[in-house]
Structure 1
Amino acid sequence: AKAAQRVVRQWLAKKGITAPHLVMENGSGLSRAERVSAREMAGMLQAAWKSPYSAEFISSMPIAGTDGTMRKRLKTTAMRGEAHVKTGTLNTVRAIAGFSRDINGNTWAVVAILNDKAPFGASSVLDQVLLDLYRQPKLPETASVL
């Protein structure tokens, strides 16, 4: 486990990602001890976007309103088919992470993590994050996304 953590941290450093909040116990993401900040996860997604294997990675994620854990979510919205998003669910946590396009065709790395004793309605809140991102106004020419 320690050797695996060392390899992961070396990869992060090579990509210029600092992840002081990252805690890895067994690598499954299901451990109560594992932690990552939304900013750290977004940095990892941005590195994945630049990877030669980005197409394969992105295509492995459920498509909003179409398949996997996202098949019933955002199905009747403009977001259908516009995001590749992995969901995460534990008793007190709901999360999304992946890539989403806005109405202007820009692609964004998106991460949202909700922690609450009773996360009822969290899926709706996370879906709203994607919808609000989709409705982004046109960016000035000097701005950059992925």
Structure 2
Amino acid sequence: MPAVLTDGDRGFLARPRLGILTVAPAKPSGWPATRPVWFEHTDEGTVQLFSGADSPKVHRIRETPKASLLVANEVGEPENWIVFLGPAEVKPDGASELAERLGRRYWDLTDPAKAAALEGMLSGELVRIVIEPEKVTRYGG
């Protein structure tokens, strides 16, 4: 069962914010991999993002299906952050639609360069990464 968000959490997540995804190391002696990502929190309580199907983070999640996603305040805002922790799954469906939706959320697509960059993302093979948070920690709000 996904962790429950507060009204303050939902308000904080209503603005487009970068998430910082962390996944397991590729080998036991390695380091966890951390990357900035676009994401959305769904009505079902999951957190989802998209990635290239052959990206290292996708391979790592397939090997060790868990992840964390940190969402933090912007510079100049009062300190506030939320961390989602839980099992992660790579799904082949819905990635292009998610990428288009997030492209509109994060970028002004009337800018030809940004529209072209999004089209470039959509031209590759994409997958969705879905995290079902078992634990949510937070500060601020």
Q: What TM-score do the two structures reach when normalised by structure 1?
A: 0.25
Q: Which of 1 and 2 has higher RCO (CA within 8 Å, sep 6+)?
A: 2
Q: What TM-score do the two structures reach when normalised by structure 2?
A: 0.26
User: Is the helix fraction higher in 1 or 2?
Assistant: 1
User: Is the strand fraction higher in 1 or 2?
Assistant: 2
